[in-house]
Each structure stands twice: as structure tokens, then as C-alpha cells.
């Protein structure tokens, strides 16, 4: 099957990681995937992409760089021309701005289009008024729209009426991580222990709240430290907060890493304190690695991923006292940490294994009438 996957860039982001995982898997099983980043300045590819994937930059096809209305029109025309020439069995697009372009570029070409929201569009702020209007106007013409969590379905249907089909597709666990050993969680009695957090240093991740809460607990838990991985515009303010608490030796802003699984596996617990998420890859990865986790029950993602708190400690979104209590339980109860670690790894590696998620995609391909869709053959899904 010829699958064209459109994504904004191939920088070090969650959508980009999922895009690379999917096209690599499709190529390995014998499909013919094309990965086409639409980023106006081209950029670079952070994640490894298989030789079996046709990798094409829209900026090269359009022959333009940079922004502006004329450049945008040139890229849209180039995208339509490429789709017409490629004749894919299905087009899949990630991220709102790319989704709008995908719908416009395929009008009248009789190619099924599946557009995918990669955050929680109901509460997220990534789409401004104009893009939100464009989404409302174009999404009803897509053959299918996907979100990442069941909790998003009903509010998004109200937000964008007239959708043909709205489905839920979780992110797959990368196969390398699914087969990685689960790290032992029994450090020496006198060893230091670390709570890990990871994400872009922006207000939505609420690392300031995490720092404040850890600051309240630090004296009572002298062997524990907090390590926050990531970069972003809030670095200076977060560092000032750490310094103000006098905890520069206990709380570290470790910066960006190209080996997130390796650094996460060096921790003893994980905390997710985001105000908004769609499907937090980092929580999935921490669970799969066998880290006992604490997560805010933000509007979508963590509740479903943790099976309503069975596989991690789920805290009401923004609840500082609840977060403090949950972190205290983890830091002071080794048996709880071990039990949560075992449950988290088993659940994440089972429910979100790549073969399971690929099966969901095959079902979606069959539902939109993609030619040669595997699910139509295997499951008898009507086309």
C-alpha cells in the first residue's frame, strides 16, 4: 500500500517521533510509505528513517524557502502536484496547519485523507483564531479525523461540527523501547535517588509548580533530587526559582538530550505536571521503562494511559497538595515504587506495542476505503 504521511518538520518532537516510527514500520512490512515534511525552511531530520521510506521535502518540491502568502501558495500547489503524481492509496497528515493544507491539496483527487490532531485541540492553544477557523471549515471534508484520547472525542465533535468520522489512535511505543530491559529499582541504601521530568520549558508543562512542591518536600526527603530535562524560553525563570529556594544542588535543569530513554532509565521515579496534553509520549516512555510515575489528570491522555490511576499515581490537575502527597508516597514507600514500576511497564508495553497500534491504523485505512488496506483483507471490514 502506498501511504503518504505529511508532517510539519522532522525536528525532535513527539509528532515527528511517531511519524518516523510509523513510516519505518510500514516500510519494514512491505508497504511503500513516503514521508513529506512541509516545513518552509526544510530543516533536518532528528529521528532515523529507514532506507525503505521515500523521504521528500516539500520545500524542495516547491523551490521556495521562508514564509509569506506567495510561498504558502507555491507549497500548496507543489503538494497537490506531488499527490497527483504519486497517487497514494491514502494520505495521513499530522498537526493542524498541515491537516488544513492536506485537505485543500487533495480536493477532487479522490484520495482518502486522514488528518490527525497531535495535542488536545479542545484546550490547547497552539492554533490561533485563523487556524482554528480554517480547521472548522476544512476538517468536515476529510475522510477521517483522529485524536489521541477518548476524552477528546465528544468535546471536539462539538467544537468542529460536521466531521465524517472521528476516531481515537494512540501513539505507538517505539519497538526499541518495547524490547529494552526494565531497569532495576533497588539502589543502594545510601545512594541518591532522582525524580525525573522531561519536556519543553514552557508554562504549559508547569515545571515551576513541580519545583515549588519538591522544594516543600526536600528537607523531609534528603536522599532525593529532581532532574528536569528539556530546553525552552522558561529556563531563566525556572533557574531563578530554583536558586531562590536554595536548591541548586538538589534540582537540576539538565537541558536537551538526544538519548531520552537512556537518561529516563537513570531515574527512580517520574513526574508529569502538564496543564494540557494530548497523548504525552514521555509518560508512555517512562512507564515502559519501569519508572513509577505521578501524573496530573490533565484534560486528556494520562487518565487513559494509566488506566484511571491503576498504573501510576493520578493527581487532580493543578492540585499542589495532591502532588505533594503523591510524591511523598513514592519517595518514602519502596514497595509502592516497585509495584507501580512493574504494572506500568507491563501495561505500556502491552497496550501500546507497535503491532497493536499498526492494527488500529489498518482498520482506519479500511474504513476510509484505501486501496489494498490490510484490515479489509484480514478483518473483512467493509470498504
The 10s digit of each residue's pLDDT in 54-86 is 999 999 999 887 778 888 899 999 999 999 999
At 378 the pLDDT is 53
At 187 the pLDDT is 60
CA of 180: how far to CAs of 17, 262, 345, in Å?
A: 17, 10, 11
Q: Which CATH superfamily is domain 2-172+353-379 in?
A: Glycogen Phosphorylase B; (3.40.50.2000)
Q: Contact, 142 vs 115, CB < 8 A?
A: yes
Taking Cα atoms as reference points, which of 96, 108, 14, 7 lies closest to residue 55?
A: 7
Question: Taking the model in full, what pTM does it have?
Answer: 0.85
At 181 the pLDDT is 76
Q: Which of 45-54, 190-199, 365-374 has the lowest mean pLDDT?
A: 365-374
Alpha helices in the chain (DSSP H): 14-28, 58-62, 69-86, 96-106, 129-138, 153-159, 175-178, 207-217, 235-244, 260-264, 281-288, 302-305, 320-332, 334-351, 354-367, 374-379
* pLDDT confidence band for 375 (50 / 70 / 90): very low
Residues 211-268: tens digit of each pLDDT? 999 999 999 999 999 999 999 999 999 999 999 999 999 999 999 998 888 999 999 9
Cα distance between residue 21 and residue 19, in whole Å:
5
At 188 the pLDDT is 57
Residue 176, pLDDT > 50, answer yes
Residues 87-141: tens digit of each pLDDT? 999 999 999 999 999 999 999 999 999 999 988 887 766 678 999 999 999 999 9
CA angle at 203 for the pair 156 and 46, rounded to the nearest 5°: 80
Domain boundaries, the chain: 2-172+353-379, 176-351
Taking the CA atoms of the chain, what radius of gyration do you get in angstroms?
A: 22
Q: Contact, 324 vs 216, CB < 8 A?
A: yes
Q: Contact, 365 vs 358, CB < 8 A?
A: no
At 381 the pLDDT is 43
At 376 the pLDDT is 44
* Architecture in CATH of 176-351: 3-Layer(aba) Sandwich (3.40)
Examine domains 2-172+353-379 and 176-351 and report if their fold is the same. Answer: yes
Question: How much is the mean pLDDT over the chain?
Answer: 91
Q: Which of 28-32, 268-272, 283-287, 373-377 has the lowest mean pLDDT?
A: 373-377
Cα distance between residue 174 and residue 328, in whole Å:
31
Amino acid at each position: 500500500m502506498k501511504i503518504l504521511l505529511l508532517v510539519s518538520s522532522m525536528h525532535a518532537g513527539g509528532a515527528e517521533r511517531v511519524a518516523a516510527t510509523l513510516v519505518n514500520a510500514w516500510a519494514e512490512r512491505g508497504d511503500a510509505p513516503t514521508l513529506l515534511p512541509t516545513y518552509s525552511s526544510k530543516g533536518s531530520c532528528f529521528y532515523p528513517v529507514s532506507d525503505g521510506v521515500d523521504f521528500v521535502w516539500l520545500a524542495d518540491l516547491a523551490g521556495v524557502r521562508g514564509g509569506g502568502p506567495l510561498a504558502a501558495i507555491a507549497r500548496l500547489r507543489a503538494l497537490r502536484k506531488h499527490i497527483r503524481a504519486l497517487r497514494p492509496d491514502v494520505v495521513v497528515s499530522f498537526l493542524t496547519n498541515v491537516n488544513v493544507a492536506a485537505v485543500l491539496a487533495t480536493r477532487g483527487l479522490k484520495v482518502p485523507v486522514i488528518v490527525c490532531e497531535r495535542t488536545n485541540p479542545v484546550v490547547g492553544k497552539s492554533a490561533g483564531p485563523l487556524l482554528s477557523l480554517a480547521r472548522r471549515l476544512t476538517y468536515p471534508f476529510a475522510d477521517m479525523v483522529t485524536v489521541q484520547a477518548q476524552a477528546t472525542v465528544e468535546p471536539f465533535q462539538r467544537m468542529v461540527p460536521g466531521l465524517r468520522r472521528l476516531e481515537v489512535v494512540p501513539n505507538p511505543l517505539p519497538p526499541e523501547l518495547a524490547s529494552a530491559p526494565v531497569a532495576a529499582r533497588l539502589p543502594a541504601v545510601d545512594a541518591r535517588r532522582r525524580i525525573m521530568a522531561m519536556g519543553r520549558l514552557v508554562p504549559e508543562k508547569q515545571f515551576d509548580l513541580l519545583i515549588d512542591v519538591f522544594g516543600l518536600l526536600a528537607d523531609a526527603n534528603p536522599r532525593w533530587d529532581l532532574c528536569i530535562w528539556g530546553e525552552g524560553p522558561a529556563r531563566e525563570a525556572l533557574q531563578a526559582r530554583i536558586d531562590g529556594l536554595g536548591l541548586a544542588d538538589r534540582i537540576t535543569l539538565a537541558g536537551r538530550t538526544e538519548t531520552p530513554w537512556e537518561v529516563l532509565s537513570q531515574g527512580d521515579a517520574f513526574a508529569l505536571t502538564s496543564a494540557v496534553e494530548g497523548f504525552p509520549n514521555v509518560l508512555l516512555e517512562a512507564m515502559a521503562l519501569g519508572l513509577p510515575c505521578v501524573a496530573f489528570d490533565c484534560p486528556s491522555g494520562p487518565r487513559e494511559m494509566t488506566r484511571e490511576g491503576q498504573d501510576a499515581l493520578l493527581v487532580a490537575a493543578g492540585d499542589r497538595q495532591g502532588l505533594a502527597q503523591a510524591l511523598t508516597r513514592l519517595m518514602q514507600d519502596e514497595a509502592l515504587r516497585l509495584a507501580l514500576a512493574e504494572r506500568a511497564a507491563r501495561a505500556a508495553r502491552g497496550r501500546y506495542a507497535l503491532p497493536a497500534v499498526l492494527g488500529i491504523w489498518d482498520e482506519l485505512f479500511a474504513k476510509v476505503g484505501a486501496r489494498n488496506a490490510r484490515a479489509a483483507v484480514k478483518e473483512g471490514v467493509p470498504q
